[in-house]
Amino acid sequence: MTVTTESALAEAIAGAQGPLRVRGGGTRDIGRPTAGDLLKVAITGVELYEPAALTLVVGAGTPLAEVTTLLAGEGQRLAFEPMDHRVLLGTEGVPTIGGVVAANVSGPRRIQAGAARDHALGMRFVDGAGRVLKNGGRVMKNVTGYDLVKLLAGSWGTLGVITELSLKVQAVPETEATLIVRGLALEQGVSALARALGSPYDVTGAAHLGFDGGTTLVRIEGLQGMVDHRAGALLEDGFAGWERIDAAASAALWADVRDVAPFAGSDRPVWRVSLKPTDAPGFAAALEAAGLSHRGIFDWGGGLAWLELETTAQDAGAATVRAALAAVGGHATLVRGAPEVRSSIDVFQPQSAPVTALTRALKQKFDPRGVLNPGLMGV
């Protein structure tokens, strides 16, 4: 069923006789496959856009492309740089802004500007009992009551179905530049990224591609003079020999990092691992030592490892990945994997016993009948 209004959505959920598969554009086929009737959220339209207040209020089913086009018309953008999963997953469909927030999808700029959840100022949503609810608002600073917006962001439609979002937007900077070097090993790459991120130059992208000999990238954005000064200062101090790539060519590099484009067009398992950046080299080495060959894209200064595994293991490497990660801490999600694999393993990182208990209890309050994407996140 496709719903185009909040009241129809509330009615559909309240009247559901069994589980619902809640989707926006259906481009992010991630998590444990769930049964049930398809409930597609197509509540679209711009409620309010105030460029001078950096605020956008929009129906959750509005296509992401419409949002970005609207913002670009005023020289603005979504600062958190959401990934387009169609590239990596080979899915079709039209990504929606509601899907972006429901999955808390962020890109390379997350390290500097924050995640999708940090830019969601408020929302309306329908919970599993069919109650129409709101939380937060449309202003930048708001501590009135509990922050359910953060809780709903990244809950993959398991607690409630977002119908309307207030978002904080950002001005597109005048220009950007990327400093790039080839040939660094992962450990050297992560160390260079740490130096860049520890500099006063407000680096907005820091990634290492760990294949084809290694490529390490550092992005600066801002006014032209600012970018020149900052890139120049880095090139003089510790980044001698790095090449500078400007404007559109720089943007193209980061679109590929954002979309994990180098891993497109295959069905090998891809894991998304969040960890402490300097733990990345040891973690990758531990996987190799355990016989798990892989290619890695290390975004967020090393703190976000995208791993494409060379494995035929029934669990897509889950046991090995999670054992290696347990030694350092963090979380791992199987983003690309065959449905039968995703049905048989924990796609999302298993949580500690107390956190699992809290998660179950929250699910019970928000969705007492268990109709919203039950099991998608594992709990």
Q: How far from chain centre, in Å, is Cα 279?
A: 20
Report, in Å, the least distance between residue 50 CB and another protein.
Answer: 6
Task: Check: CB of residue 371 under 8 Å from CB of residue 18.
Answer: yes
Report, in Å, the least distance between residue 363 CB and another protein.
Answer: 9
Place of tokens 């200062």: 233
Between 37 and 187, name the residue whose CB sits nearer to another protein.
Answer: 187
Provide Rg for the chain, Cα atoms. 21
Q: From residue 5, how far is each of 41, 49, 70, 162, 267 by CA, in Å?
A: 8, 20, 22, 12, 37
Report, in Å, the least distance between residue 312 CB and another protein.
Answer: 26
Between 88 and 152, name the residue whose CB sits nearer to another protein.
Answer: 152
Strand order in the sheet with 132-136: 46-50, 55-59, 160-168, 120-127, 132-136
For the chain, the 3-state helix, strand and coil shares in percent, each to the nearest 5, are 35, 25, 40
Report, in Å, the least distance between residue 238 CB and another protein.
Answer: 14
Between 43 and 169, name the residue whose CB sits nearer to another protein.
Answer: 169
Report, in Å, the least distance between residue 38 CB and another protein.
Answer: 24
Between 94 and 199, name the residue whose CB sits nearer to another protein.
Answer: 199
Report, in Å, the least distance between residue 60 CB and another protein.
Answer: 17
Between 42 and 57, name the residue whose CB sits nearer to another protein.
Answer: 57
Write a three-state SS string for 100-146.
HHHCCCCCCCHHHHCCHHHHEEEEEEEECCCCEEEEECCCCCCCCCC
Q: How far is 57 from 13, CA to CA, in rounded Å?
A: 24
Between 40 and 142, name the residue whose CB sits nearer to another protein.
Answer: 142
Report, in Å, the least distance between residue 2 CB and another protein.
Answer: 26
Q: How far from chain centre, in Å, is Cα 18?
A: 29
Between 11 and 37, name the residue whose CB sits nearer to another protein.
Answer: 11
Q: Beta strand pairing status for 37-41 and 120-127?
A: unpaired
Report, in Å, the least distance between residue 78 CB and another protein.
Answer: 15
300: three-class secondary structure by DSSP: helix
φ/ψ of 77, rounded to 5, equals -160, 175
Between 40 and 229, name the residue whose CB sits nearer to another protein.
Answer: 229
152: three-class secondary structure by DSSP: helix
